Amino acid sequence: MDLTVQPGTLLASAPHMLDPNFMHAVVLICQHTSEGAYGLVVNRRTTATVADLLPEHPVLGSAAAPVHWGGPVGSDTLQILHTHSERVGGGLHLGAGVCLGGDLDELAGVVSEGGEEPGVRFVVGYAGWGEGQLDGELAEGGWLPTALDPGLVFQDDQQRTWREAIRAIGGEVAGMEDLPPDVSWN
């Protein structure tokens, strides 16, 4: 059985996932092949701003846009999710109008015009899986796939994002969004 998820799929961590990196996380899958997978956690905001990361940039050096934590791998990498492909050149289209990357100066123009523009997200780090690792976690029910919803990707409430992603899945997982990670916590 092929458990490969397409780029642009959102994965909500199952309620029983206790790994502190991914407890109640929602990950946007950017790539999933037979060699491995990578994605960005979209519901973990840090205390940093883009100005903290790019102080020398003529526009972003003073931007108050928040930075999000994308996962425990590559904490020295900055990636940008956005919904402005009509204005920003380059980038990878993930679906539903959401793009990964593009021209930094064009994105800076979007940010400067919109303040904390809801359609731009700066992300440090990423979630990565080796060959077959994500497939195994999917088979064991550790991740619950759902369709890409830009409203979830650019929302800023960690728990609300996770709960809404679980609700969007429906079916067998309906009602799981209210379960604690460990049922002994009841």
Give pLDDT tens digits for 19-41.
Answer: 999 999 999 999 999 999 999 99
pLDDT at 118 over 90: no
In this predicted structure, what is the pLDDT of residue 59?
92
Beta bridge partners of 32: 37
pLDDT at 11 over 60: yes
Residue with tokens 């100066």: 105
**Distance separating alpha carbons of residues 173 and 111, to the nearest angstrom:** 37
In this predicted structure, what is the pLDDT of residue 69?
97
CB 65 within 8 A of CB 122: yes
- Domain extent listing, the chain: 10-179
Mean of the pLDDT values across residues 147-161? 92
CB atoms near residue 184 (< 10 Å): 6
**Distance separating alpha carbons of residues 102 and 91, to the nearest angstrom:** 4
Give pLDDT tens digits for 71-90.
Answer: 999 999 999 999 999 888 88
In this predicted structure, what is the pLDDT of residue 156?
84
Question: Nearest CA to 106 among 92, 120, 123, 93?
Answer: 120
Q: One-letter amino acid identity for 62? A: S
For residue 84, which phi and psi values (nearest 5 degrees)?
Answer: -120, 45
CATH number of 10-179: 3.40.1740.10
Residue with tokens 């519901």: 43
**Distance separating alpha carbons of residues 101 and 37, to the nearest angstrom:** 17
27-61 per-residue burial string, b: 16 or more CB within 10 A, e: under 16: bbbbebeeeebbbbbbbbebeebbbebbeeeebbe
**Distance separating alpha carbons of residues 98 and 143, to the nearest angstrom:** 21
